[in-house]
A and B are shown apart, each in its own frame.
Chain A
Amino acid sequence: MTSITSFCRITEMQCIVDYKVLVHRDAGSEDPWLKQIYKEQEFVYPKFHKMDMLTQAGVLACELIRRARPGIMNYPDDGIALLFANCSSSADTDLRFIRSYDQGGAPSPSLFVYTLPNIVLGEIAILNKWYGEQMFAVLPKFAGSFYTDYAPVVMSTGAAALLCGWIEVVGNKVDVLLFLVEHTADNVLEFSADSIESLKQQDSSLSDLKESSTYLSDGYIKGGS
């Protein structure tokens, strides 16, 4: 059975992992929202500060899922495939790069590095040493069916697990959903378009989802009927 065994949802005000709110945004903080999560969760990865916001969001959400499901590190280095998407590609960083021309007359090389959305995948792969199949699609809008349709494609080379992501970052707007898909015999959240759509609504209807979902004793999430 293929199931969603863990997820991370980051919106403009909250960071949620497996139905638990880990971090609330501090509107009074001088730190950007993603940096607040980085500090709050005591993540130590100096390269984080050099990344663009899109990549920071992906790396952070991946790290939080890895902490929630440490068994993810037991897969072989090509055992995890990555299937990500968004609708603005790397436009946010592209614009920052263009603006950097106006500041001091020299464009920022560090911004140029991130003017492709699939750099997110590369950074996650480098950090975790995951060398499975990868795909980053740019879609008109979020669709849960995208992941269920393309999962067999990216897993066709034998990957045992799939990390899926929707990472949309434009200006201060952050809309992130990462979820881990694994083969398990347990009755956990079904890997279906409907389940994925429900996780995407996580921020606005957390209480509803809490009521319809419970944790299994080993830490798996379990979807409601």
Chain B
Amino acid sequence: MDTLKEDLKKQIIEQLNLEEIAPADIQDDTLLFNDAGLGLDSIDALELIVLLDKYHGIQVTNPDEGKNAFRSVNAMAEYIRNKRD
């Protein structure tokens, strides 16, 4: 099991107050901002930026980076690993 991805799912649920969603409901490739996925909105995008800073010490300063980084849990995990390297 990829603990980073599992941690991310828990962090997303907590940070975004997705109280009716469990980590198991979020697949690694679930589209975060698609209505067929989690249906997140622009405020949630800001919360994800706060999440990366708060839990992972990563500041997203380039909006274009965020667009790709927040596509899915897979994308977020990859983004975090790239920033750590």
Contacts and interface: CB of A to CB of B under 8 A. Distances in A.
Nearest to A114: B43
A49 B47 contact: no
B20 A46 contact: yes
Interface string B40-67: 0001101100100110000000000000
A105 B53 CA distance: 9
A160 B9 CA distance: 46
A49 B50 contact: no
Contact of A106 (B16, B17, B44, B54): B54
Contacts of A44: 20
A1 B17 CA distance: 44
Given A104-B54, A106-B54, A108-B50, A49 B43 contact: no
Contacts of A110: 16-17, 43-44, 46-47
A216 B18 CA distance: 41
Interface size for chain B: under 10, 10 to 19, 20 to 34, or 35 or more residues? 10 to 19
Contacts of B85: none
Contacts, number: 32
B47 to A, nearest CB: 6
A50 interface: yes
A109 interface: yes
A106 B50 contact: yes
B20 A108 contact: no
Contacts of A49: 17-20
Interface in A58-117: 104-106, 108-110, 113
Nearest to B21: A46
Nearest to A31: B19
Contacts of B44: 110
Contacts of B21: 46
Interface of A: 44, 46, 49-50, 104-106, 108-110, 113
Considering the complex of A and B, which 5 residue pairs feature the smallest CB-CB distances, nearest first? A109-B46, A49-B19, A104-B54, A49-B17, A106-B50
Given A106-B54, A109-B47, A110-B17, 19 more contacts: A44-B20, A46-B18, A46-B20, A46-B21, A49-B19, A49-B20, A50-B17, A50-B43, A104-B53, A104-B54, A106-B50, A108-B47, A108-B50, A109-B43, A109-B46, A110-B44, A110-B46, A110-B47, A113-B43
